[in-house]
């Protein structure tokens, strides 16, 4: 998983963070790319072990 696994919602962008110095770089980059949305970091270091992160978790479940 990576910072590219962000999720775009109506008024915000949820960005995975990993307790890494590059978290701030990713958040600032996405804030510049989505100036009309609030960019929120979500700690995902545990999620990445099995599920991917935010975007992966929002995908469809098979019937």
**CB 17, CB 43: distance < 8 Å:** yes
Which active-site residues does the annotation give?
56
């Amino acid at each position: 998983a990576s910072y590219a696994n962000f999720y775009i919602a109506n008024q915000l962008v949820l960005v995975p963070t990993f307790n890494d110095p590059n978290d701030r770089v990713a958040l600032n980059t996405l804030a510049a790319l989505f100036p009309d949305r609030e960019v929120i970091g979500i700690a995902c270091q545990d999620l990445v072990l099995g599920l991917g992160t935010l975007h992966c978790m929002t995908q469809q479940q098979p019937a």
